[in-house]
Amino acid sequence: MLHGSGPGTTGSGAWATTAQALGASWRLVAPDQAGFGRTPVPAGSRGGLRLWTEQAAGLMDALGIEHYAVVGHSMGGAVALALAAARPQQVTRVVAVSTMGAPGAPLSADLDAVWAAPAGPIGARDMLSRLVLDQALVTDSAVEARATAMRAGEAAFASLFPPPRARWVDELTLSAQTLAAVRAPALLMHGAKDRVTPLETTAQPLLDHLADVRLHVFGRCGHVPSIEHPQEFRQLLSCFLHPDRGH
């Protein structure tokens, strides 16, 4: 399970509610990608799609897991699709949530603001308010927790997406050739009101490039369906990854 790119994001933090609900019957691997949480960017590297993809593949190799599904959110969705293209014999299914990576997708004003958010309560509140549609989810406790995480990762994050930031969206773009190499069935999940990675410029174009793909759109939902519609999100995820269980 691969997290997104907002400052203060970690693997465990991004997938906590999903993992708590699914963890008893699943083996979940939710790493901090390079530059986030406890995983540093290797010396001489800046991070980026290739590094994150190689690290994810290497982690699963190190764990001895031969076949696996991969789930990614936002930036992690692009990494998930790249991993599925790079390891077609190992990736059995791929889920890209509020994903980046679509050819031609521009940098949205809200993603630019998220990447630029200053560490601290003001930046955390502004960022969270852009991520979700229902502002009641932007609680004081959520702001405090994110502000703490942003401060902890401030130095590492500063090196990942410096301005001008449109180039980093381009760096995360997957070529038509890469997308054509994805052999695993793919599920795209997206919020209808996502301002960070708008549905029309991110998920919908991927429908023309992936061989075996379906799209689920959450109504009245922003950038984080796993938090905004947790029960529906988990049900869709379970049904797609284990259709034989007959949900």
Q: Measured between alpha carbons, how far apart are the two ends of the chain, in Å?
A: 21
- How many domains is the chain built from? 1
Active-site annotation holds for 194: yes
Q: What is the pTM of this model?
A: 0.96
Active-site annotation holds for 226: no
Looking at residue 26, its pLDDT comes to 86
Show the tokens assigned to 93.
């299914």
Q: What are phi and psi of 131, to 5 degrees?
A: -80, -35
Q: What are phi and psi of 91, to 5 degrees?
A: -80, 115
Give a yes or no: residue 74 inside a domain. yes
Going residue by residue through the chain (247 aa), what tens digit of pLDDT does each one get?
A: 999 999 999 999 999 989 988 877 789 999 999 999 999 999 888 889 999 999 999 999 999 999 999 999 999 999 999 999 999 999 999 999 999 999 999 999 999 999 999 999 999 999 999 999 999 999 999 999 999 999 999 999 999 999 999 999 999 999 999 999 999 999 999 999 999 999 999 999 999 999 999 999 999 999 999 999 999 999 999 999 987 764 4
Give a yes or no: residue 111 inside a domain. no
Give a yes or no: residue 235 inside a domain. no
Sheet holding 213-218, edge to edge: 68-73, 91-97, 186-191, 213-218
Looking at residue 106, its pLDDT comes to 97
d(CA 146, CA 5): 13
Query: Is the preceding peptide bond at 121 cis, omega within 30 degrees of 0?
Result: no
Give a yes or no: residue 192 inside a domain. yes
Q: Which of 73, 108, 110, 194 is catalytic?
A: 194
Give a yes or no: residue 152 inside a domain. no
Q: Which of 32, 73, 74, 190 is catalytic?
A: 74
b/e for 77-90, b at 16 or more Cβ within 10 A?
bbbbbbbbbbbeeb
Contact (CB, 8 A) for 124 and 150: yes
Burial of 3 (0-12, 13-18, 19+ CB in 10 A): buried
Q: Which of 3, 223, 226, 229 is catalytic?
A: 223
d(CA 26, CA 201): 33
Q: What is the CATH number of the domain that holds 219?
A: 3.40.50.1820
Neighbours of 120 (CB within 10 A): 15
User: 117 — alpha (psi -120 to 50), left (phi > 0) or beta?
Assistant: beta
3-state secondary structure of 115: helix
Neighbours of 219 (CB within 10 A): 9
Give a yes or no: residue 224 inside a domain. yes
Looking at residue 245, its pLDDT comes to 60
User: Residue type at 99?
Assistant: T
Angle between helices 140-152 and 121-131 (to 10 degrees): 110
Q: Which range of residues forms the domain containing residue 60?
A: 12-106+169-229+241-245
Active-site annotation holds for 108: no
Looking at residue 22, its pLDDT comes to 85
